[in-house]
Chains A and B, each alone.
Chain A
Amino acid sequence: MQINWSALGLVLIAGLVSGVGVVVLFTLGVRGLSDYIDAKQAGRTSVLGLGGAVVGFALSLAIVALGIYVIVAG
């Protein structure tokens, strides 16, 4: 009986990076879009908001594609 600590550590780190990472990226996209719309309604353009939305959503989408690949490839 032995516990494979390195495998556990790997799963923990990978879970933290992927889970927290994708949540933060997507949330930045949501926040960016919200800021962009807010600014637009005030007659301004929020470049930061638009950029955040585009980058956040694009990276999230890429991670979803990676997820599907992991499921299909097993």
Chain B
Amino acid sequence: MDLAVLVPIVVATALIFDFTNGFHDTANAMATSIASGALRPRVAVALSAILNLVGAFLSVEVAKTISSGLVDEGAIGPSLVFGGLVGAIVWNLLTWYFGLPSSSSHALFGGLIGATLVAAGWDAVRFGRLVDKVLVPAVAAPLIAAMVAMIATYLACRITRGCSVSMVRPGFRVGQVVSASLLSLAHGTNDAQKTMGIITLTLISAGSLPAGSGPPVWVIVSAGAAIALGTYLGGWRIVRTLGKGITDIGIPQGFAAQTSATAVILTSSHFGMALSTTHVASGGIVGAGLGTPSARVRWDTARRMVLAWLLTLPAAGLAGAAAGWTASTGTVGTFAVVLVGLLVGLGVYVASRRQVVDEHNVNDIPVEPIEEPTVPVAGR
């Protein structure tokens, strides 16, 4: 179809994906601070949003590939990128509705792989890299984060045992907020860059930008703004699952879980293995529960999360395949995908209004309470 129509649609869809990425991932940085009471919910999401925005401007080096080399990008045009984005958005919305933290990057990979498979065939997908880039990190991330957070939580509780709670709490609170802030900054840098990369590469493939050029200022500004707005709107459903659904997060646990998660994300990306923020943050919270002798971990919530992680790639892939195939048939197909996408978004929104989760009830425990009351405070 006419690129003059298709390219704006792809750009808009990429920004919508960026927005869902923001509200899906608010929980990774802020669930522990909100649950432990270190920050009031509105303050937490506002802080995270601002830092995501700042993060978007921090690094000028944008992603040079759309799919991190998972698909042969010579074989995919704007229609398929559009289809892949739609698949990722649909999966992000559905998992958000069920309050499940799932990786936005995996959703994007899944959507792109699905769209590429139907349009360009199996040869255009590099399945070998899938193991290396997606599956191994997905298994390793929560395990590593849980181990780090478990040891860190245990030691933090040991070291502060016996000091008066009133003096320990403000210190941990500051530490937790700093860790959450660093994670928000890193998130803005990484994830907004992905969107900038997609838009820039689409503009290059349409001939609007010379090959090899960086993102124009309006791309940087709009990508940063979209992710910040998404973060500010909060994704409260997922915040509640991570903050209250897995274990009881007190001030020391929140500090240890958040700091461990931030440290694991930054060191792993420094060493060139991109771990999903979602998997690391979730693993960190499980680890904090395991490291607290008096706390319980609700494994049923953890199991549901892992199930969502396993489904992310194939489910976003199916949606991406359907959207990509339909969009590649031409103008009518593309607008049909736009229409269906808007209807899905509206449907999920309407459904979510039946039982609203927002800053007022974000700290209510989602399902039945943990059997034993736990003592989340280290000092007595």
Which A residues have a C-beta under 8 Å from some C-beta of B? 1-4, 7-8, 10-12, 14-16, 18-24, 26-31, 33-35, 37-38, 60, 64, 67-68, 70-72, 74
Closest chain-B Cβ to A32's Cβ sits at a distance in Å of: 10
Q: List 13 A–B pairs whose Cβ atoms lie within 8 Å, in order of A's numbering.
A: A2-B132, A4-B136, A11-B140, A16-B147, A19-B152, A20-B260, A24-B159, A34-B163, A67-B262, A70-B266, A70-B269, A70-B270, A72-B189
Closest chain-A Cβ to B172's Cβ sits at a distance in Å of: 6
- List, in ascending order, chain A residues with CB within 8 A of B128's CB: 1
Asked if residues A20 and B268 are in contact (CB atoms below 8 Å), the reply is no
Of the stretches B40-48, B55-63, B332-340, B357-365, the one at the interface is B55-63
**At the interface, yes or no: B39 with Cβ under 8 Å from chain A?**
no
Q: Number of contacts between A and B (CB, 8 Å)?
A: 137
**At the interface, yes or no: B263 with Cβ under 8 Å from chain A?**
yes
**At the interface, yes or no: B144 with Cβ under 8 Å from chain A?**
yes
- List, in ascending order, chain A residues with CB within 8 A of B155's CB: 20, 23-24, 27
Closest chain-B Cβ to A50's Cβ sits at a distance in Å of: 14
Complex formed: what's the CA distance from A24 to B163 in Å? 15
Asked if residues A68 and B182 are in contact (CB atoms below 8 Å), the reply is yes
Which residue of A is nearest B188, CB measured? A71
Closest chain-B Cβ to A31's Cβ sits at a distance in Å of: 5
Which residue of A is nearest B159, CB measured? A27
Complex formed: what's the CA distance from A6 to B156 in Å? 29
A-B contact sample (4 more), CB < 8 A, given A2-B132, A27-B155: A10-B271, A14-B267, A18-B263, A74-B59
- List, in ascending order, chain A residues with CB within 8 A of B269's CB: 70
Asked if residues A23 and B160 are in contact (CB atoms below 8 Å), the reply is no
Which residue of A is nearest B268, CB measured? A11
Which of B55, B160, B171, B268 lies in contact with A14, CB distance below 8 A?
B268
Interface residues of B in 149-191 (CB under 8 A from A): 149, 151-153, 155-156, 159-160, 163-164, 167-168, 171-172, 175, 178, 182, 185-186, 189
- List, in ascending order, chain B residues with CB within 8 A of A30's CB: 160, 163, 167-168, 171-172, 175
Asked if residues B271 and A38 are in contact (CB atoms below 8 Å), the reply is no
A22 touching B156 in the complex, CB below 8 Å, given contacts A1-B128, A15-B144:
no
Which of A7, A19, A68, A71 lies in contact with B273, CB distance below 8 A?
A7
Residue interface bits B28-59, CB-to-A below 8 A is 1, else 0 = 00000000000000000000000000010011
Which residue of B is nearest A64, CB measured? B178
Asked if residues A23 and B256 are in contact (CB atoms below 8 Å), the reply is yes
- List, in ascending order, chain B residues with CB within 8 A of A34's CB: 160, 163-164, 167-168, 171
A15 touching B152 in the complex, CB below 8 Å, given contacts A8-B136, A72-B58, A74-B61:
no
